[in-house]
Structure 1
């Protein structure tokens, strides 16, 4: 690792420890307000795609409950890496996703059920922002097998970054290798940190890079595109599986004049 990179990484390490000890007060950044792509905007765009694919709009109150559930994963479970796919806990976040999705399907309470669905969507979206999936599949629309976590056992190249820096105290050089990977992260970088891998906002270390030379699409954009596509797929699959609460939210697109999602998008600030 170069001396310049080593100096930058040491500065990051000091800053990172400050973040770690203040983590109970500061929520995780996860497609956060800085954007331009946020959990809210990604989910709202998925609502549009859902309506196009199914011919049904979701009611505004249902869309809001799903969005609130998505945001609740940060506000209520900021330190639980299974809700954000942090600390290379991919199997844990995949298991939590499946549990939340299944619980949502079986939930009789309308509010609780849709909130749980929104929390499951948050996990899916965070996976693309916090992992190196986008780097391993540049501009190739292949979605991660979050619904089938055991597949990840054979995908040794896929990882997520450590938000908790304590495990890498003795591995600072390996963690710094991630920052030196200027051409992308094809493969696994042991003890890569959240700061190196995350694509939460357009100004993060990884987000500043373009996916392919000459194409003005950043990793922030590409991760958000994958997150939106996967979010849409989950909503459509739950519709086809006859998710009871989701079905109770449907309004024929032709009767709403295709305005349901647009009206919600206008009324709800991102």
Structure 2
């Protein structure tokens, strides 16, 4: 192995001696989750793709495993259900290399105006985004503790830091803000266990999360509001998640990384 290759390996999951990164929300073909799993696999990680749509997760995992020659599995999970989360993480523990990375990406959105929202919609949006992140992170953090540490990256949003005004309504913004508080508190508590926890806060991204609730004109308007004049690609967000799970980020914890093309500058 050359020195350059050793340096490259040190910055990747492969440097951990072949460890597994768990990625939630990894079933959509145009999603950030599958893009992140693909990027992590290219960096040498074994990957576990989790999604409510088990068939989609399995298909994506098979493609990624073949493309990058790493262990890859796709499993169905309901991130709002503690028993479902426990069962799927246990399955990953039993069938994959030790878990050292987690990207909590599963999420849903809704543009409903505040005074038109219902309690059911509030519970649904908070459940998948905030409670789902809590349940998965808690279960995987216990695995990391027993395995000597790891890295967790959560998915927040520019909507959390600018008070909405993008696409998602109040429940979405509130859920993403909750994730920021959760991330910072976990970072403080889990740091002594060798676990880093950071948040990614994207602006508008060219994915299918808004499918059925938008149109080309609205998408163009979202892009026009960004100083860089376009939406982010899923691969660009995935690159940030991969960095936060890499050993390059080993001394970063409790941070929020804005990646929004300048739509919010803090």
User: TM-score of the superposition, structure 1-length normalised?
Assistant: 0.31
Higher helix share: 1
User: TM-score of the superposition, structure 2-length normalised?
Assistant: 0.31
